[in-house]
């Protein structure tokens, strides 16, 4: 079970004791990301994440920061998403104080030096180039670009090269001051801990954090009346595509039925689309269906990499399954299998302290009700065959269909592909 407390300065702390664990994970999660940016500074949330690792007064260089945990075999990293930015350290239980000292120092005392900012621009641009050269990643970005167009939800998390090159210390520090606040920050520590002792330690390391007001994000606008396609012409050995529909945000009660539906469609190797696209037709190596939900947006999408001459057939196979869910009820066996799959995969993933920290911190920073895994599973268990059918009828409509493609296609192919997008 977990324990939630609040420091005098407003920082929320979640402690998750795991008696038999050999490790401890400290996660600092901030409620800001690329959805909080304006066009001129798109990418700065991610860039700022990098800058926290560039030096503090106590650890003045990247080397000093990295070797602190390297010397004890610790694991550490950071990440930026549309709505959150996180920093974490995972260490042997006996090094808990080292992790707390390290992550608090980096998070509270980063110097953001101009020289380091200028040097890091090249690193981040190469990270962007890596994503652009990786179709399995880039096609997902194109799908969100198609859904949300020219607004924060549709922009790249890593940003554009022109913006990255224009970042300076004033922009970095200003974003830090206006988007990092005790009020939108959660510290979660999971592992072999004593909750009373750990509360005092966190007060010691994070108690000096000063509160400041964080700016809100803009509301996402969604407008779509007919199927839409985004094609990216690139010479590739296989065609990559994302085909999906707009759905629900993370607070919508129908999200659990949506999650189960995604498992049935393409969540594992015995799912409908894995069998249809890969096993029966041999069109590609990977195919999977997933759900993305944020505080104000959501979608279900099927992604695959297939033979270059098989896009039309693959689209047809995916739409056949979407259509089948809309027109027919799933079987009781399928529903039970999907629920058991979620229960099993959740249980396996939450064996680790870093997964436990992420599970609780994400709920808290997003403003959701703080549930245990078992409480979450009980909500999923309540989903019925009828619930799945109702969701399918609601989301599988022509006016919600979107297709992004990377391959040897151009605008002249769009009309032909649009004719296929019918449910």
Query: What residues contact residue 131 under an 8 Å CB cut-off, 6+ apart?
Result: 137, 138, 141, 158
Q: Are 183 and 214 in contact (CB under 8 A)?
A: yes
Tokens linked to 369: 């009700």
The number of C-alpha atoms within 13 Å of 152 and in the hemisphere containing its C-beta is: 24
Distance, in Å, from the CA atom of 319 to the CA atom of 366, rounded to the nearest integer, reads 33
Q: Which two tokens stand for residue 282?
A: 């041999």
- Bridge-based pairing state of the strands 284-293 and 298-306: antiparallel
Token code pair at residue 24: 């401890």
State the DSSP H helix or E strand holding residue 145, giving kind and residue range, or none if neither: helix 135-148
* Diameter of the chain measured on Cα atoms: 65
Catalytic residue among 37, 49, 116, 144: 49
- Within 10 angstroms of residue 26's Cβ, the number of other Cβ atoms is 28
Q: Is 49 helix (H, G, I), strand (E, B) or coil?
A: helix
Whether residue 85 contacts residue 110, with contact meaning beta carbons closer than 8 Å, is answered with: no
What single string gives the DSSP state of each residue in 60-102?
-SHHHHHHHHHTTT-EEEEEE-SS-EEEEEEEEGGGHHHHHHH
Nearest to 234 by CA among 410, 407, 413: 407
What is the C-alpha to C-alpha distance for residues 288 and 274, in angstroms, rounded to an integer?
A: 7
Report the candidate in 32, 61, 67 with the shortest Cα–Cα distance to residue 47: 32
Cα separation, 88 vs 78, whole angstroms: 6
Contact in structure between 302 and 318 (CB atoms under 8 Å): yes
CA gap 342, 337 in Å, rounded: 9
Residue 321 bears catalytic tag: no
Residues recognised as catalytic: 49
């Amino acid at each position: 079970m977990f324990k939630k407390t609040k420091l005098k300065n407003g920082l929320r702390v979640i402690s998750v004791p795991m008696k038999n664990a050999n490790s401890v994970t400290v996660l600092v999660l901030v409620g800001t990301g690329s959805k909080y940016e304006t066009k001129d500074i798109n990418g700065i949330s991610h860039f700022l994440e990098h800058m926290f690792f560039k030096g503090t007064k106590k650890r003045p260089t990247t080397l000093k920061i990295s070797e602190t945990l390297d010397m004890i075999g610790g694991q550490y990293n950071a990440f930026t998403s549309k709505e959150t930015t996180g920093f974490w350290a995972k260490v042997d239980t006996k090094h808990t104080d080292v992790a707390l000292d390290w992550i608090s120092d980096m998070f509270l005392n980063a110097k953001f030096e101009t020289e380091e900012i200028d040097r890091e621009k090249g690193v981040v641009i190469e990270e962007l180039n890596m994503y652009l050269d990786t179709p399995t990643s880039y096609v997902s970005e194109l799908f969100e670009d198609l859904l949300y167009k020219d607004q924060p939800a549709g922009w790249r998390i890593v940003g554009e090269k022109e913006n990255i090159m224009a970042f300076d210390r004033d922009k970095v520090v200003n974003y830090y001051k206006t988007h990092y606040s005790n009020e939108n920050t959660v510290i979660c520590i999971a592992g072999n801990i004593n909750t009373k002792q750990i509360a005092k330690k966190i007060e010691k390391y994070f108690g000096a954090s000063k509160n400041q007001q964080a700016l809100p994000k803009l509301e996402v606008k969604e407008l779509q009346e007919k199927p839409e396609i985004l094609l990216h012409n690139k010479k590739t050995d296989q065609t990559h595509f994302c085909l999906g529909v707009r759905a629900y945000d993370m607070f919508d009660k129908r999200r659990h039925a949506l999650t189960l539906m995604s498992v049935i469609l393409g969540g594992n190797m015995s799912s409908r689309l894995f069998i249809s696209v890969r096993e029966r037709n041999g069109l590609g190596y990977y195919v999977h269906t997933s759900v993305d939900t944020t505080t104000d947006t959501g979608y279900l999408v099927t992604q695959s990499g297939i033979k270059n001459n098989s896009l039309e057939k693959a689209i047809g196979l995916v739409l056949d399954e979407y259509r089948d869910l809309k027109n027919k009820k799933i079987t009781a066996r399928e529903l039970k299998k999907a629920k058991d799959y979620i229960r099993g995969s959740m249980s396996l993933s939450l064996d680790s302290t870093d997964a436990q920290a992420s599970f609780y911190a994400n709920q808290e920073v997003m403003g959701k009700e703080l549930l245990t895994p078992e409480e979450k599973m009980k909500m999923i268990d309540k989903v019925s065959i009828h619930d799945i059918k109702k969701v399918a009828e609601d989301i599988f409509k022509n006016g919600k269909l979107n297709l992004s493609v990377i391959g040897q296609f151009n605008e002249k192919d769009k009309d032909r592909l649009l004719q296929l997008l019918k449910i």
